[in-house]
Structure 1
Amino acid sequence: MSWREAAQPVRMQRVAVLAPADLLRDVLVRVADAGVVQFEPDGRGGEAARRLHRVRSGDVAPKLAASRPDLDALEGAGRSDLLAGEAELEGHLSAAVRHGAVAGLVGWCPTPDLPGLTANLTAVGGAVVPLPMPVGVDPPTLLRSKGPVHRSFAGLVRTYGTVAYPDVDPTMAAGVAYVLMFGMMFGDAGHGLLLMAAGVTLAIGRPGRLARWRPAWPFVAGAGFTGILFGLLYGEFFGPTGVLPVLWLAPLAEPVRLLTAAVGSGAVLLSVAYAVAIINRWREGGPRLAVYASSGIAGAALFLGIGSVAGGLYLSSDALAVAGAGVAVMGLVLAGIGFFAAAAGGGAAGALQAGVQVFDAVVRVGSNLISFARLAAFGLTHSALGWLVWLGTATLFGTGLLGAFAAVGLFVVGNALSFALEALVAGIQALRLEFYELFSRVFAVEGRPFQPWHVPTEGAASSGEAS
């Protein structure tokens, strides 16, 4: 698989599942067991649905019988699982298009699963016919599962929305950006070790009550690793205890330098977000959308131009400032054209609307970049809490035996509270930056998730499952 294929959702194929009308149930049972086809919305329910309503007791996991069952016997035995499966099957059977002796349904199937599905259905007299993609309708999205790290980071993207089918899969980049931002705010090697230990505990799955959180272990361990990394750079180990030397800067001693680094990190992350956004706009609407969209080349030029002007003023470089101003003006013009073209009605009202949107775009670029200053602000807060706990500990420790016991208690309790508070705050703030500053550029349209119909056949191993 090439890197381009790995960076986009699984390719989908529009298909028609066909069978002789009298064999359609057998074919659909195999489709359900394979779990790799998403059909259009179900049709109406039938006799099984009515019987299920009479015997249902809470939620049940539906199953299907390999051969047509006796519904009276299922109701009498209270087999709500098989009745639930038959009810779903009835819905699809009623939605099937029939022409003479042939019946079929239309749906979506991942391209890699087509050969296996075709062979499976051919064995019982069915067929899978590839269909052309419908104009103006994007397929559902299925992101590739690339291992435990990718699955752990995927929750970030799913929480925000579903990646549109033509777009780049941003899962790994989003996860890396999140843990780096978290670590910059949570920079303490001791606290990072505790968080990494929590990740290892989740990976082991013990105690048993933590087993359901096991898929999140790479996310937690990654956040702990970056906390350790920035703790080493800051010289923090459960506060400024002097255990570690300062490899880069001490936050409380050099807050301006830390603030500059935070804003610079934000500029790099925004640049990556714009690059991905340009690719997405091109795939969604072609070169015109990529050029004129505020999250495309127009917005990237405005961002780059404003950054160059700021850099020129900071470095006293007139040439850089003038060049940046030119690039920013070009971005404003392109964005204005795009806003005007999208405005309803055009004319003076459209021009006014476009002008307001251009002004908003300029304000957003500046505010989004400055928003990354919170990486420094909350990093300073973490360091200040660690310093207060360590100062109190050192002061109590020199006041006798009772003071030594009090110092140990303060050190343990203070670090526990600092760890809990800062882990929560850093986690929320990193999520806020991810969603509002980065994802708001990467995503312009939302896709729909691939939701294959999957009902296992009773007494048979599932022949396939959506990844």
Structure 2
Amino acid sequence: MIEKMSFVTLAGPKNEIDYLVTHYLSKHDIHLENALAEFSSSDQFTTYNEENPFKDALNKSHELMGLVKNPEKVKIENISIKSAEGFIDKIDDRLSDIEDEISKLNTQIQALDADFNSLAPFKGLNYTLKGIYDMDFFKYRFGKIPKVNFDKFESYLDPDINAIFITTLAETEYVYGVFFAPNEYFEEVAKDFKNINFDEIAIAKKYKDFPDKECENILSQKEDLQKQVQAKEDSINDVIEESKTKLVSAIRRIETAYSNFDVRKLSAVTRESGVNFQVLCGWMATKEAKKLQKETDDDVNIVCIVSDDVTEHKTKPPTKLKNLKIVKPFELFVKMYGLPAYNEFDPTLFLTITYAFIFGIMFGDLGQGLCLFIGGAILYKVKKMDLAGIVCAAGVSSCIFGALFGSFFGFEFDSVISPLKSMVTLPFLGEINIVLVAAFLFGSFVILTTMVLNIANAIKQKNLGKALFGPNAVTGFIFYASVIAVILLYMTGKPLPGTVLLIIMFVVPLALIFFEEPLKNLIAKKKPIDESAGIFAATAFFELFDYLITYLSNALSFLRIGVFAISHAAMMEVVMTLAGAENGGMPNILVVIIGNIIVLGMEGLVVGIQVLRLEYYEIFGRFYDGSGREFVPFRKNNK
């Protein structure tokens, strides 16, 4: 059902808006609207133009919250906004100092990484770096040569070149090493090496030992620095952990203050005048609105006005669903299609009954239904998943029809009806499966029920034309009910009254449906249709023809209920045959288990989707608009 709504207007001094939010709005569910839009004239009112002062504090808070482990488990303490901001700044400053130290350590680590990458290719050099630096008569260069060029080393260089190249590392792409040349020939040798794309690698002069020793020293220094970084990061965690309760409380207080301040965006305030006050408007459940009004009676600074006439306000009431716990999971499917408008029928209960009923028929097996029920119940209890609740309800229905069909994981027992074997003989049609007949009759009953719901919706919306004329209105109900009655009379051997009903009840409803548009305009006192009689007649004829086709297709769509019931029974019969259970034989339990798992997973999913398709296209389309907007209380947003 849809909760009854009242429009609430709260007014008070402009500088008391935080008081109003903290003491009233944060304690009651109210769907706020733009107050300025509610007034017919904005000459006397304007909006706040102040920037939210808690923006910076909120950004800091979100950064700090990312460091808190399991903040949802922290018990929130009361703290003033001033204390909260001061505490956040204090913690932020402490962490900033530690993070600066970490940054400096990371810079040192990066420098060591660069030095290590320079030295590592030369670890195979059996000379100390200091010995190389101190040579008086020779110069040197560390570097790398593309391997392709190195292979042609002798052809590129003069055989009598005055240089020595010591290879330290040969990779797939480059050859690393160092060349030495006498001082007087060094420039000439350097040019020759440049011709073979020798790329110099600079080695810091602070490293003087053997390259491999220096690399070990670098790794040791890096490890020490990394330990220091880890210690600093642990200290950050310690700071957060030791002040966790107060920190989370401060963050939540700032979030609340930020959200409370943003209420100003929806409020209207008086322009510069002798009286300076603000107005907030919104929708509340009528019962809660009365409570709020009673609470503010003794508050001299707050005026609360509650209006129960929803039609006199510019905004439409939002929709707040209130259903029994057993029905509530099915709100998921209703919301997927669209929430009902405030003045519309809530289809949740109807959807619950029809969805579970249809699923049970299409997937009737006592054992598999128990699996769905147990699995859905556990998931719903643990995870609070609405879909799991729907599966649980579908499982109950599947158990009921499984008992009626005499099926337990495919094993048959005495039953009321068998989807594969129960037949009935009908005039004109001969012998036909009784499940298909039942599916057709059930579908017809559901279609007629949706028409009644559509009529009820129209009456609730005070739309008499919609209630009386149309394929889903009174005229459509009479026509479709007459069709079903004629079929039943002919099938039960009573053609005469069926023919009379066919002649009388077909013509009048169809004629009224044909003239649906002008009749609706007449009732609504609108101008007649501005088009020629020929165009109107052609349009109305094709629309009527489309309605008739839709009636037929809707009725036939419900036959899939019976078809799926039969196919499910046939699939389980195949499983039992594969398991060797025909003629009373001892079945292969492993085959039975695997077969049931496949049917439960594959057909269960297909049936669930097909039932939802029937709900949306064959049922909802006849009476339900789903154009409502959700009731979103300020308190939920604030939370």
Pick the TM interval, shorter chain: 0.7 to 0.9
CA distance change for structure 1 residues 187 and 22 in 2, over 3 Å: closer, same or farther?
Answer: same
Q: Distance in 2 between matches of 1:32 and 1:386?
A: 58
SS at match of 1:303: helix
* Partner in structure 1 of residue 619 of structure 2: 438
**1:74–1:165 CA distance, 2 compared to 1 (3 A):** farther
SS of alignment partner, residue 319 of structure 1: helix
2:454/2:623 contact within 8 Å kept: yes
Residue correspondence of structure 1 range 267-286 to structure 2 within 5 A: 267-286=444-463
Larger Rg belongs to: 2
The alpha-carbon distance between structure 1 residues 346 and 193, as it changes in their structure 2 partners (threshold 3 A), is same
Structure 1 Cα separation of the partners of residues 503 and 517 of structure 2 = 21
Residue 249 of structure 1 deviates from its aligned partner by: 2.7
Equivalent position of 2:513 in the other structure = 335
After TM superposition, the score normalised by the length of structure 2 is: 0.62
The superposition leaves residues 378-433 of structure 1 with CA deviations (integer Å, 9 ceiling, x where unpaired) of 1111111100111121269999xxxx7x9221111011111111211111111111
Cα distance change on mapping 1:298 and 1:48 into 2, 3 Å: farther
CA deviations on 1:410-467 (whole Å, 9 max, x unpaired) are 111011111111211111111111111111112135111211111699xxxx9xxxxx
Q: CA deviation at 1:112?
A: 0.8
Q: In the alignment, is the contact (CA less than 8 A) between 1:26 and 1:66 conserved in 2? A: no
Matching residue's letter, 2:475: A
Report the equivalent of 1:391. 577
Please name the residue that 1:322 is paired with.
Answer: 500
2:439 is aligned with what amino acid? A
Partners of 1:152 and 1:92 lie apart in 2 by 32
Give the AA of the match of 2:4.
R
Q: Deviations over 1:48-106 (max 9, x none)?
A: 36426743459999x99886647964763676544443333233224322342332112
Does the 8 Å contact 1:30/1:121 carry over to 2? no
SS at match of 2:282: strand
| Alignment check: 8 A CA contact 1:34 1:117 kept | no
* Rounded Cα–Cα distance in structure 1 between residues aligned with 2:357 and 2:330: 13
CA 1:407–1:289 in structure 2 vs 1: closer, same or farther (change >3 Å)? Answer: same
Give the corresponding residue for 1:46.
51
CA contact (8 A) 2:451 2:472 kept: yes
Specify every segment of 5 or more residues in structure 1 that has no aligned partner in the other structure, as ranges.
Answer: 1-7, 206-210, 463-467
Per mean C-alpha deviation after superposition, the further-off stretch among 75-84 and 307-316 is 75-84
CA distance in structure 2 between the partners assigned to 1:139 and 1:238 by the alignment? 49
The alignment status of 1:10 with 2:187, answered yes or no, reads no
| Identical-residue share of aligned pairs (%) | 22
SS at match of 2:579: helix
SS at match of 1:426: helix
The answer to whether 1:107 aligns with 2:282 is yes
Letter in 1 for 2:614: L
| Distance (Å, rounded) in 2 between the aligned partners of 1:353 and 1:75 | 70
Structure 1 residues 424 and 23: CA distance shift in structure 2, 3 A = same
Does residue 28 (structure 1) correspond to residue 21 (structure 2)? The answer is yes
1:354: how far off? 2.7
8 Å Cα contact 1:45/1:88 also seen in 2? no
Shift in CA distance, 123/94, structure 1 to aligned 2, threshold 3 Å: farther
**Which stretch shows the higher mean deviation, 260-269 or 34-43?**
34-43
Q: Distance in 2 between matches of 1:326 and 1:87?
A: 69
1:368 aligns to what?
554
In 2, are the aligned partners of 1:96 and 1:103 still within 8 Å (CA)? yes
CA-atom RMSD in angstroms: 3.3
Find out whether 1:298 has 2:475 as its counterpart: yes
Is 1:225 matched with 2:411? no
- Counterpart Cα distance in 2 of 1:325 and 1:85: 70
Instruction: Give yes or no for contact 2:58–2:258 (8 Å, CA) kept in 1.
Output: no
In 2, Cα distance between equivalents of 1:33 and 1:169: 28
CA distance in 1, matches of 2:610, 2:471: 25
Q: 1:167 aligns with which of 341, 344, 348?
A: 344
Aligned to 1:3: none
Letter in 1 for 2:317: P
- Checking the alignment, whether the CA contact within 8 Å between 1:30 and 1:120 is kept in structure 2 is no
Query: Which consecutive residues of structure 2, in runs of 5 or more, have no partner in the other structure?
Result: 36-46, 93-249, 424-431, 522-527
User: Amino acid of the residue matched to residue 139 of structure 1?
Assistant: P
Residues 232-279 of structure 1: CA deviation (Å, up to 9, x unaligned) = 22221222x33x202123425546211111111111111221111110
Q: Which amino acid aligns with 2:384?
A: R
Distance 2:583 2:277 in 1: 87
Amino acid at match of 1:411: V
- 1:116 matched to 2:291? The reply is yes
- For residues 110-154 of structure 1, the C-alpha deviation after alignment (integer angstroms, 9 at most, x for no partner) is 1010232224444653232023532675311112232x2021222
Q: 1:74 to 1:39 in 2, by over 3 A?
A: farther
* Among candidates 242, 247, 251, match of residue 420 of structure 2: 251
1:65-214 alignment, distance < 5 Å: 69=82, 73=86, 76=89, 81-99=252-270, 100-122=275-297, 125-131=301-307, 132-133=309-310, 134=312, 138-146=316-324, 148-202=325-379, 204-205=381-382, 211-213=383-385
- How far does residue 201 in structure 1 lie from its aligned partner after superposition? 2.4
- Identify, as 1 or 2, the structure richer in strand: 2
- Output the CA distance in 1 between the equivalents of 2:578 and 2:313: 68
**Distance apart, 1:336 and its partner CA:** 2.6
Corresponding position of 1:357: 543
How far apart in 2 are the matches of 1:412 and 1:231?
A: 18
Q: Which amino acid aligns with 2:540?
A: A
Alpha-carbon distance in structure 2 between the residues aligned to 1:227 and 1:416:
16
Per the TM alignment, residue 296 of structure 1 is displaced from its structure 2 partner at its CA by 1.9
Corresponding pairs, count: 436
Assess, with a 3 A threshold, how the Cα gap between structure 1 residues 246 and 454 changes in structure 2: closer, same or farther. same
- CA distance in structure 2 between the aligned counterparts of 1:202 and 1:54, rounded to whole angstroms: 37
Code of the residue aligned with 1:85 in structure 2: it is T
Determine if contact 2:376/2:392 at 8 Å carries over to the other structure: yes
User: How much does 1:334 deviate?
Assistant: 2.5
CA drift at 1:183: 0.5
Corresponding residue for 1:310?
487
CA distance in 1, matches of 2:354, 2:50: 47
How far apart, in 1, do the equivalents of 2:52 and 2:499 lie?
75
Residue 563 of structure 2 is matched in structure 1 by: 377
CA-CA distance at 1:374 after TM superposition: 0.5
Alignment deviations for residues 6-61 of structure 1 (CA, whole Å, 9 cap, x no partner): xx411111121111222222112234322411111497772336426743459999
Q: 8 Å contact 1:96–1:105 — kept in the other structure?
A: yes
